[in-house]
Amino acid sequence: MDDAAPDGLDRRSRRELEEGIQRDFTRKMSYGDYLRLDTLLSAQQPLSEPPQHDELLFIIQHQTSELWLKLLIHELRSARSLLGDDQLAPALKRLARVKHIQHTLTDQWSVLATLTPSEYAEIRPFLAASSGFQSAQYREVEFLLGNKNADMVAVFAHDDGARSALDTLLHEPSLYDEFLAYLARRGYAVPPSLLDRDWTQPYRLDEGLVDVFAGVYARPDEHWGVYETCEELVDLEDNFQQWRFRHLQVVQRTIGQKTGTGGSTGVDFLRRALDLTFFPELYEVRTRIGG
């Protein structure tokens, strides 16, 4: 068979459009319409003057992170609600997706890491006081996971929507709180003080709960759903810590020990976050296993 077209071109070098493929979108919704790409792709507005090539990278890195954080919040809220309704299996499905989103967020740092200190120095003056520290969605994720800090709400006094969302989450049970309530309803001896506490306060280690988890880990075959959920939560926290550490590394290689644009101490401030934990008993119980 001769594969050459009449015009001398090899047909294998191009793909003909099929008859059924839509071409006219004057009255039909297109891909761009559905995704509102006109809005999305016009949201990158560099401020550097004269224009700096690398500012677009910086903007897109942070905008895409915010989109993934939006989905992360959506999934965490759903998982929390499902646990509240005793629907463990679909809650675990949500957490599985959360972990994939976390991996994507962490991997993104490798793109920003291509920005050298000299290149970032050309952009930094145009950021003014803006900083990732001011990401309301990041704080929503932390609140949903239990790292509550009422002082953070005041940072968003200028943004009624963000302030209201954080204040609401501050006064609601976290994902972990809902998991503990689920355990109590299933007959596990969760200390009562953990089931009726001030949700605005950061979660603190409870030795009585460590005892409960020690029993689960001693006989995982008898507590498989709970055992699996514990390990999913550990995965989630492990991923979060990897994100934090990768963030610290990228900041350190880009600005060294400089103060952050938002006024923090920069690397030292980020390093202290590595000591924070969402689910302390799930780490403490490991000391007991096999001991």
Q: Is 229 annotated as a binding residue?
A: no
287: tokens are 């000391």
Q: Are 4 and 10 spatial neighbours (Cβ–Cβ below 8 Å)?
A: yes
Q: Is 23 annotated as a binding residue?
A: no
pLDDT at 259 over 80: no
Q: Report if residue 81 sits inside a domain.
A: yes
Cα-based angle 245, 250, 252 (whole degrees, multiple of 5)? 90
* pLDDT interval class at 241 (50, 70, 90): very high
CA dist list (Å): 259 to 138, 154, 247, 266: 20, 21, 15, 5
Q: Is 62 annotated as a binding residue?
A: yes
Q: Is 73 annotated as a binding residue?
A: no
Q: Report if residue 157 sits inside a domain.
A: no
Reported as a single tens digit per residue, the pLDDT across 126-136 is 888 888 888 99
Q: Report if residue 10 sits inside a domain.
A: no
Q: Is 120 annotated as a binding residue?
A: yes
Q: Is 97 annotated as a binding residue?
A: no
pTM of the model: 0.90
Q: Report if residue 202 sits inside a domain.
A: yes
Task: Report which residue type is found at 216.
Answer: V
pLDDT at 12 over 80: no
pLDDT > 70 fraction of the chain, expressed in percent and rounded = 96
Q: Report if residue 159 sits inside a domain.
A: no
Residue 149 burial (CB < 10 Å; 0-12/13-18/19+)? middle
Q: Report if residue 39 sits inside a domain.
A: no
Q: Which domain holds residue 182?
A: 54-132+175-286
Number of domains in the chain: 1
Q: Report if residue 256 sits inside a domain.
A: yes
Q: What CATH number is given to the structural domain containing 105? A: 1.20.58.480
CA 66 to chain centre: 9
Q: Is 59 annotated as a binding residue?
A: yes
Closest of 75, 90, 134, 106 to residue 225, by C-alpha: 90
Beta strand residue intervals within 155-230, DSSP E: none
Reported as a single tens digit per residue, the pLDDT across 158-195 is 999 999 999 999 999 999 999 999 999 999 999 999 99
- Residue 35's SS3 state is helix
